[in-house]
Amino acid sequence: MDWVREILYDFENKNLYRKRILREELKDFCSNDYLGLRDHPRVIEATKKALEEYGLGSGASQLVSGYTEVHAQLEKELAKFKGTPSCVLFGSGYMANVGTIPVLAEEGDLILSDELNHASLIDGCRLSKAERKVFRHRDYTQLEEILKRERHRYGKVLIVTDGVFSMDGDMADLRALYDISERFDCILYVDDAHGTGTVGKGKGSLEELGLGWRENVVIMGTLSKALGSYGAFVCGSEALIELLVNRSRSLIFTTSLPPPVCAGALESLKIIEEDPRMVERLRELTEIVYSRLKGLPFEIMFHHTPIIPIVIGDEGRTLDMSKKLLERRIFLQAIRYPTVPKGKARLRLTVSLRYKENDLEKLFEALEDLSQNIML
């Protein structure tokens, strides 16, 4: 088994070795539980109730006997929330992307993918038999050039993008993508894992930009981030959702989500809808956090979303900073290649309503100290 050790040694040498860190006892500043809903009393109560009623696991796939009233209800509410005719659940965001993209784009089709798309989108594109081309991040001029040159050679064309980019925190210009996808007759696939519950009034990237759903648009979102649960969903036209139910391999050949997980997510949705101030509070806190960070001598990316990466660049230095923070019980994970490009390593700070004021103060203080001791 020397080859295993060799690979690991190589990772270590390049500062790309990954270790899981137990988060208990730490102040976690890198979770995606943006609204702090995962342990909201109502969410816990709804989950417990479903646990008592249904038990833990669903027992089968959606198409066998693993589809319950809770699954159906959650799909209905998600479709309403996203303003689409229909919705279907998936086991996770990863499964949604790898299971949907190959259904939307087949042999003879073309996929155009933003270079900073999430790994699960990239893997979904790889699983498709369509041809794939990557365009520079948010470079819609380049996207349009490719389409002008190549559109006629393909049947369907699928444009794939994150709504809110998970590692940079910036947003796709969906207005531009709406326009391009209409002019060139494309399907637009928006992964709104990080937009759901954080932008617009909580409904996501389309709402943030004042856009309504259109027939050629497919929206994917997760239950695992701002909704504080686990799993994912795809929203679109009724016919498209039926096609996924009939064709998507990561939906058909896997056990459906546990009913308590769906019940918890359903309650989170209700909480967001009943209290629009919640998303507003997240926005306000995000601005406060940034205002405290912007004076530090780090490259801080900020796009008014709760993902605020502190870009250090060098992998070793980033790891070092993360370790120094851990010594103070502050958890800011070092994000490195291949999650982000080589030489663009970062501490991915996320803002969440679960953070307490004095913990944030400790974070600012620690970063201030580090900026003096390490960087200068």
Ligand X SMILES: Cc1ncc(COP(=O)(O)O)c(C=O)c1O
List of residues contacting ligand X (CB under 6 A): 92-94, 97, 118, 120, 162, 166, 191, 193-194, 222, 224, 232
Contact criterion met (CB below 8 Å) for 50 and 260: yes
Name the minimum Å distance from CB 82 to ligand X: 15
Cα-based distances in Å from 369 to 295, 325, 363, 374, 376: 13, 10, 10, 8, 11
Name the minimum Å distance from CB 189 to ligand X: 11
Tokens of 200: 């617009």
Judged by beta carbon, residue 216 or residue 250, the one nearer ligand X is 250
Judged by beta carbon, residue 40 or residue 118, the one nearer ligand X is 118
Judged by beta carbon, residue 147 or residue 158, the one nearer ligand X is 158
Judged by beta carbon, residue 93 or residue 204, the one nearer ligand X is 93
Name the minimum Å distance from CB 96 to ligand X: 7
Alpha-carbon distance 176 to 185, whole Å? 14
Judged by beta carbon, residue 189 or residue 298, the one nearer ligand X is 189
Name the minimum Å distance from CB 172 to ligand X: 11
Judged by beta carbon, residue 166 or residue 318, the one nearer ligand X is 166
Name the minimum Å distance from CB 359 to ligand X: 24
Nearest to 100 by CA among 288, 240, 264: 240
Q: Which residue is nearest to ligand X (CB)?
A: 93
Task: Tell me how long the chain is.
Answer: 376
Cα 33–Cα 91–Cα 69 angle in degrees, nearest 5: 95
Judged by beta carbon, residue 27 or residue 118, the one nearer ligand X is 118
Name the minimum Å distance from CB 2 to ligand X: 33
Nearest to 199 by CA among 179, 219, 170: 170
Judged by beta carbon, residue 232 or residue 282, the one nearer ligand X is 232
Long-range CB pairs of 71-75 (<8 Å, 24+ gap) are 71/256, 71/257, 71/259, 71/262, 73/262, 73/266, 74/233, 74/262, 74/263, 74/265, 74/266, 74/269, 75/233
Alpha-helix residue ranges (DSSP H) falling in the chain: 2-13, 41-54, 69-82, 93-104, 119-127, 140-150, 174-183, 205-208, 238-247, 249-252, 259-274, 277-293, 315-327, 357-370
- Per the DSSP assignment, residues forming a β-bridge with 158 are 111, 187
Query: What is the residue whose two structure tokens read 């699954």?
Result: 71
Alpha-carbon distance 279 to 79, whole Å? 19
Judged by beta carbon, residue 265 or residue 366, the one nearer ligand X is 265
Distance between first and last Cα of the chain? 43
Name the minimum Å distance from CB 88 to ligand X: 15
SS3 track for 114-139: ECCCCHHHHHHHHHCCCEEEEECCCC
Name the minimum Å distance from CB 93 to ligand X: 2
Name the minimum Å distance from CB 14 to ligand X: 23
Name the minimum Å distance from CB 237 to ligand X: 22
Contact criterion met (CB below 8 Å) for 62 and 258: no
Residues 6+ apart with CB under 8 A from 152: none
Judged by beta carbon, residue 66 or residue 91, the one nearer ligand X is 91
